[in-house]
Amino acid sequence: MKYMLLMQFSAAGTDFPSIDTWTQDEVRAHIAFMGEVNAKLTANGEWVAGQGLGGPQQARIVRAGEGGAPVVTEGPFAETKEFLAGFWIVDCESPQRAVELAAHISTAPGPGGRPLNMPVEVHPVMSAPPQEL
């Protein structure tokens, strides 16, 4: 079964500064951890896809306007307290394994090498609508 793991960043309830204030070594350690996660997922045959995402200042919200033309709202979104920092799509044997992977990803190092314990949502990827539809 495939699962999408969504790493959230929330300024509320965190005890670490934003990544743009970290030292170069702290950023390198964080990125190296993510590379190790991806390499292990690949070696285990669980990797499908994954990427880190730009911050809210780079995000755009798009809606269909008149005649379907895109209407774009640009960031930054000053009111944003949470944003999606990255995602993985994994193919694993059980929901418990997806939860184990999410917990490990949550331990990514931050300032001083301390685990960030950032929330990671786990969503099953649906391949078709439910049968009852």
pTM of the full predicted structure? 0.83
Give the Å distances, CA to CA, from 20 to 26, 66, 95, 111, 118.
11, 39, 34, 11, 16
- Joined tokens for residue 1: 């079964």
Give residue 60's pLDDT: 84
> Around Cβ 11, how many Cβ atoms within 10 Å?
11
pLDDT digits (tens, 9 = 90+) for 3-25: 999 998 766 666 777 788 899 99
* Backbone dihedral angles phi then psi of residue 66, each to the nearest 5 degrees: -55, 125
The enclosing H or E element of 32 equals helix 24-43
- Joined tokens for residue 71: 């209407």
In whole angstroms, give the CA distance from residue 125 to residue 108. Answer: 24
Which amino acid is present at 124? P
Give residue 71's pLDDT: 92
Q: Which residues pair with 89 in a beta bridge?
A: 4, 49
pLDDT digits (tens, 9 = 90+) for 61-116: 888 999 999 999 876 555 556 778 899 999 999 999 999 999 999 999 999 999 99
- Joined tokens for residue 37: 């996660």
